[in-house]
Amino acid sequence: MTDYNWRRKAKEVLYNYTTNLLLIAQLEKDVIYGQPCERDHRYRRGGISNPTMMKAQRLDSKRLNCLRREVAAVDKLLDSLRTERRIDAKRRALLELVYFRGSHSLLGASVRLEVSERTAKRWNTQAVEFVARELGWY
């Protein structure tokens, strides 16, 4: 079944990239440094009573694995743009200004980077399609 909202979802992944990085780091820090987790007292009803096991289950949750997949897709996009070519540096700057910092619109970023609006739209479309393809939505 084809998901027809892939473009919107891929843009959300790009917009939430920095937030997802912080969220994943916070959850991993919680497990590594032994921060207390919330107990729901399931252990009284035959659930798991070991707090470390409860944290490990939280770390391997479906939501966290989805976040990791999304971050990995954007990381792969950024790695593909880490070359010595000037055009790739401008593409990375476009992503930085529009999605990661959120300080510019697509038009404003194109003016700032001194490229045409059509070129900025094309680069944006290519980035969104790359992320959607990596996540299997496109």
59-116, pLDDT tens digit by residue? Answer: 677 878 899 999 999 999 999 999 888 889 999 999 999 999 999 999 999 999 999 9
In tens, the pLDDT along 38-65 reads 555 555 555 556 666 666 666 677 878 8
Is position 109 within any domain?
yes
Residue 62 covered by a domain: yes
DSSP assignment, residue 96? I
Please, which residues have CB within 8 angstroms of residue 54's CB and are 6 or more apart in sequence?
37, 39, 48
Domain membership of residue 81 (yes or no) is: yes
What is the mean pLDDT of the segment spanning 108-133? Answer: 96
Tokens read off for 42: 């399931």
Higher pLDDT, 128 or 29: 128
CB 130 within 8 A of CB 80: yes
Domain that holds residue 30: 6-134
Q: How confident is the model at residue 1 (pLDDT cuts 50, 70, 90)?
A: very low
What is the count of structural domains for the chain? 1
Q: Does residue 1 lie in a domain region?
A: no
**Residue 66, in any domain of the structure:** yes
